[in-house]
Structure 1
Amino acid sequence: MKDELRYIGQKLIANNLTLAEHIVHYEDKKYTKRIEDSGLPVTERIGHRAELFAYFGEALCGETEAVAEKVSNWGKRVAEIAIKYNVSLSDALRTVASYRTIIWDAFTEELEQRQFAAITMLDVSKIIDPLLDKVCGIIGETYEKHNKMLMDIAYTALEELSVPVVPIAEGIAVIPLVGDIDTHRAKLIMEKSLGEGSRLNLNSIILDVSGVPMIDTMVADKLFHIVTALQLTGIEAIVTGIRPEIAQTIVSLGVDFGSIKTQANMQQALKHLGFRQFQATK
């Protein structure tokens, strides 16, 4: 049995390039066109495919443990290349699935001619299938990590936009807050306000919460910490936009806003900071 597996393994290694070139015959035309449109060079595709066939051959020759690491590295490398050329995950996995069929078709007739035992191909599958599963798993993991990285980048950009620091005059800026404030966002607000306050050399920051749907004990506590941190750096913090219904909720919860400077709206806050309304004379 080992001799038969070794024979098939040596055949795979010797004919790996030919087998790789035949993969295209097992692909539907739409899939082939998508791969071609991706810009991935044909020679590079065939080279990577031939490399995997050779690894399968080595595994059948008894080098299973060494091949497992090679296959893992191959899967990661090929997935990164596929991502680079914007090949979808489904298309990347579809190619891997065709290797088993190609090997079976390539050797079925020859096995019959050489009168190998029927169980031989079953043994071939027992060796190659786990390697194919490993490749698919690694490709999937690599795509998942890449997608998570893109999501993290997008989320970071979105977070930056969710806490805009808008300078409106020398030493004065406004942070209009829209949406719910949780622990993570409160930390971001503090970091952004302190960082921009120092960078812009601000004297006052207006925190406008008119777009915050709910201010409960937790949110009030976070605002208190933000205001306190700004005061410790010498920046006056004013909270504006607390709606009447929110004010009622704050009172009913027993939240102490006594140490926080508040103004009804932006106009009053600017007036408090020394701005005056001037009407143009005709």
Structure 2
Amino acid sequence: MLSLVLDQNYKEYFKNNRKNFQEELLKEAVNVREKIKDILMIGNINLLENAHKLVMYTLGEEKEQLEDFARVEGISWASHNLTLAFKLEWVQAIRRTLWQFLQEYDIENQNQFEIIDFFYQLERKVNDGIDQFLNVFFLSYSEYKDKLIEAQRVLVENLSVPIIPITQKVCVLPLIGQIDSTRVHIIEEKALMEIGRLRIHSLIMDLSGIAQMETEVIDHLIKIIDGANMMGCHCVITGLRPELVRKITRLGLSFENKAETKVSLQQALEDYLATK
């Protein structure tokens, strides 16, 4: 009963001294206070209002509301790329200021606890509540970031293998930039999948944007051509640079009998659009 009465009294005390609490909190959070307006503008996140919510949920032991609040905060901070260091400093400042005000309340009301263990119960409740918020917040933040990174990875993979339909039967696969072992596997998966899905008869693979390839990548590219041929798709290679040709011939590899070669993508398109 004593615990319940004091819990309610503490909550009322914080409501009545909300402005003083915020002023002390801003003194504690030295680095964050300079960013409060920026954070509000960037993510529509009111740090002072949210600090009050955290205190009320903690004092009231409203665990479900506290966890829901932490999840929303985690997603909000992650989606707006707000710095975790600021959040940690802010929450720890809330913890310190909260204890300061609890002590002031007890001094003002000359609380004499008949049960000394109550103080330790209060300490556990406050710290457990704050820690619970931080744990759920960081989990929510990390999960959202992981999903965002995965979505961006898939987007980059799709953009890195753009198969462009020219006619119903002819498509172009322009390859640019660095192709490593990871990307060549993505190219293989996407190319063969699209050949089957679009029923491509001729796939023009333009390599004019690639100057160098590792040996294993060249070997894998030839296997992709073999796979396309097995699916009934004729491959055309365009834009081979001299340095890449020299490396392919030194390795004893060849596209002969596997794919047709053209000087440029423009030539291939002129030939195919004229005859296909």
TM-score higher than 0.5 = yes
Q: Which of 129, 149, 158 is the matching residue for 1:151?
A: 149
- Aligned residue number for residue 58 of structure 2: 52
1:54 is aligned with what amino acid?
Answer: G
SS in 1 for 2:179: coil
- Aligned residue number for residue 186 of structure 1: 184
Change (3 A) 1:270 1:201: same
1:140 aligns to 2:112 (yes or no)? no
Change (3 A) 1:162 1:110: closer
Task: Answer yes or no: is the 8 Å Cα contact 1:239–1:260 preserved in 2.
Answer: no
Per-residue CA deviations over 1:15-44 (Å, capped at 9, x if unaligned) read 336536454332376555346544458997
SS in 2 for 1:239: strand
Aligned-residue offset at 1:220: 1.9
With structure 2 as the length reference, what TM-score do the two structures score? 0.72
Aligned-residue offset at 1:13: 4.7
Q: Which moved more, 1:250-259 or 1:97-106?
A: 250-259
1:104 aligns to 2:94 (yes or no)? no
Aligned-residue offset at 1:77: 4.3
With structure 1 as the length reference, what TM-score do the two structures score? 0.70
In structure 1, stretches of 5+ residues that fail to align are 1-5, 59-66, 277-282
Query: Considering only aligned residues, what root-mean-square deviation do their CA atoms show, in Å?
Result: 4.0
Aligned-residue offset at 1:177: 0.2
Aligned-residue offset at 1:171: 1.6
User: Partners in 2 of 1:80 and 1:164 — Cα distance?
Assistant: 32
Q: Equivalent pairs: percent with the same residue?
A: 24
User: Partners in 2 of 1:14 and 1:84 — Cα distance?
Assistant: 37
Aligned-residue offset at 1:103: 2.7
User: Partners in 1 of 2:250 and 2:58 — Cα distance?
Assistant: 69
Q: Which moved more, 1:34-43 or 1:238-247?
A: 34-43
- Aligned residue number for residue 209 of structure 1: 207
> Map of 1:244-259 to 2, 5 A cutoff?
244-259=242-257
In structure 2, stretches of 5+ residues that fail to align are 28-32
Per-residue CA deviations over 1:153-202 (Å, capped at 9, x if unaligned) read 22322222211122334421211101222333223222332343344442
- Aligned residue number for residue 88 of structure 2: 93
Q: Which of 74, 79, 91 is the matching residue for 1:79?
A: 74
Task: Answer yes or no: is the 8 Å Cα contact 1:205–1:235 preserved in 2.
Answer: yes
Change (3 A) 1:152 1:77: same
SS in 2 for 1:15: helix
- Aligned residue number for residue 260 of structure 1: 258
Per-residue CA deviations over 1:245-264 (Å, capped at 9, x if unaligned) read 21221222233544421414
Change (3 A) 1:251 1:93: same
1:102 is aligned with what amino acid?
Answer: T
User: Partners in 1 of 2:40 and 2:95 — Cα distance?
Assistant: 23
Aligned-residue offset at 1:125: 5.2
Task: Answer yes or no: is the 8 Å Cα contact 1:177–1:212 preserved in 2.
Answer: yes
- Aligned residue number for residue 33 of structure 1: 37
Task: Answer yes or no: is the 8 Å Cα contact 1:210–1:241 preserved in 2.
Answer: yes
Runs of 4+ in 1 over 6 A off after TM superposition: 41-44, 84-87, 115-123
- Aligned residue number for residue 240 of structure 1: 238
Per-residue CA deviations over 1:100-124 (Å, capped at 9, x if unaligned) read 2233222324555446799997886
Aligned-residue offset at 1:235: 1.2
2:26 is aligned with what amino acid?
Answer: E
Change (3 A) 1:107 1:239: same
Change (3 A) 1:249 1:84: closer
